[in-house]
């Protein structure tokens, strides 16, 4: 049986280790490299002979789709996308002749993906591969699909947070904290990256460290001091930065939020 040369691309060491462990049951697949981000992946793809890439969708600076675009669809080996997000776009991967794995990795699903890759390596010609990846990229352009729920790793596995339950999102260093009523969840992703995946008709950035769900805003308050504050229905009061005031006011006014002077 022909040996399959594999590359693992993920910014999280535990995720890379998980793929390696699952591959131990497949002696015909040899891991010839690991990459921590999209830039390292581009270097490896340019210098190594690779048959299969386990490619994380969400990575800082350059994500998985960016890797495909920059390396070139026609030059890409077989791709198994790895993602923490269960959303409609993920199902599009399966509809195109590339596969996906949802974190945390499931052994049965992993075996199914490997089986599909073997079939494609045997049957799929290069022109068909180009057509499929081109079609996939067309379905994943920014703004074409918004997150509906977010997978947050926890001590017991993973917690799925419905986007509709999020009241506001806070930047915590390079992480984000999702506030849902009386609960909160820490996510290993930057606020800017997460914001780009949220429907702008539902969420608005009010400060460099905060995004709010528009429907959860009770009031946009102009303070006597000249400052502006967003008051949420469940009580939190969050400052609005000066440079974002116009965009925040426009977004809230469009959705019927109340603005008062004080």
The CA distance from 171 to 133, in Å, is: 34
3-state helix, strand, coil in the chain (%, to 5): 35, 30, 30
Is a pLDDT exceeding 60 seen at residue 223?
yes
110 shares its domain with 176: no
Instruction: Tell me what pLDDT residue 96 has.
Output: 44
Instruction: Tell me what pLDDT residue 262 has.
Output: 46
pLDDT, mean of residues 141-166? 76
Ranking 5-9, 246-250, 251-255 by mean pLDDT, the lowest is 251-255
In a domain, residue 196? The reply is yes
132 shares its domain with 157: no
Altogether, the residues listed in the chain come to a count of: 262
Is a pLDDT exceeding 50 seen at residue 49?
yes
169 shares its domain with 129: no
Query: Which has more confidence, 157 or 189?
Result: 189
- Looking at 109, 138, 167, the residue that finishes a domain is 138
154 shares its domain with 130: no
Q: For 163, what's the count of Cα atoms within 13 Å in the CB-facing half-sphere?
A: 19
Instruction: Tell me what pLDDT residue 88 has.
Output: 37
11 shares its domain with 134: yes
pLDDT digits over 118-135, tens only?
888 876 544 555 566 666
Instruction: Tell me what pLDDT residue 6 has.
Output: 97
Provide the mean pLDDT of the chain.
Answer: 83
The CA distance from 47 to 261, in Å, is: 62
- Looking at 138, 170, 189, the residue that finishes a domain is 138
Residue 254's domain comprises 149-261
Whole-structure pTM over 0.75, yes or no?
no
Distances (CA, A) of 241 to 200, 209, 210, 225, 227: 18, 10, 10, 14, 8
Q: Looking at the 3D structure of the chain, how many domains does it have?
A: 2
pLDDT digits over 181-222, tens only?
888 998 878 888 888 889 988 999 999 999 999 999 988 888
Is a pLDDT exceeding 60 seen at residue 150?
yes
48 shares its domain with 170: no
- Looking at 138, 170, 186, the residue that finishes a domain is 138
Tokens 């996308």: give the residue. 81
Question: Can you give the CATH number for the domain in which 104 is found?
Answer: 3.40.50.2300
């Amino acid at each position: 049986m022909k040996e399959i040369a594999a590359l693992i691309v993920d910014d999280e060491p535990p995720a890379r280790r998980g793929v390696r462990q699952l591959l131990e049951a497949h002696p015909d697949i040899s891991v010839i490299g690991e990459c921590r981000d999209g830039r390292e992946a581009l270097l490896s793809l340019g210098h190594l002979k690779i048959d299969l890439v386990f490619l994380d969708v969400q990575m800082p600076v350059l994500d998985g789709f960016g890797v495909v675009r920059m390396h070139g669809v026609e030059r890409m080996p077989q791709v198994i996308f790895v993602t923490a997000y269960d959303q409609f776009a993920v199902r599009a991967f399966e509809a195109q002749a590339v596969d996906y794995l949802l974190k945390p990795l499931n052994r049965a699903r992993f075996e199914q993906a490997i089986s599909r890759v073997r079939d494609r390596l045997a049957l799929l010609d290069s022109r068909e591969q180009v057509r499929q990846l081109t079609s996939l990229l067309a379905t994943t352009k920014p703004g074409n699909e918004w997150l509906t729920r977010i997978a947050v790793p926890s001590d017991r596995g993973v917690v799925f947070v419905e986007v509709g339950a999020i009241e506001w999102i806070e930047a915590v260093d390079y992480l984000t904290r999702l506030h849902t009523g009386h609960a909160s969840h820490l996510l290993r992703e930057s606020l800017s990256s997460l914001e780009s995946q949220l429907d702008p008709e539902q969420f608005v950035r009010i400060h460099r460290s905060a995004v709010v769900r528009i429907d959860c805003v009770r009031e946009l308050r102009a303070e006597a001091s000249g400052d502006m504050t967003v008051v949420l229905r469940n009580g939190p009061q969050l400052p609005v930065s000066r440079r974002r005031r116009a965009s925040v006011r426009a977004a809230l006014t469009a959705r019927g939020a109340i603005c008062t002077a004080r």
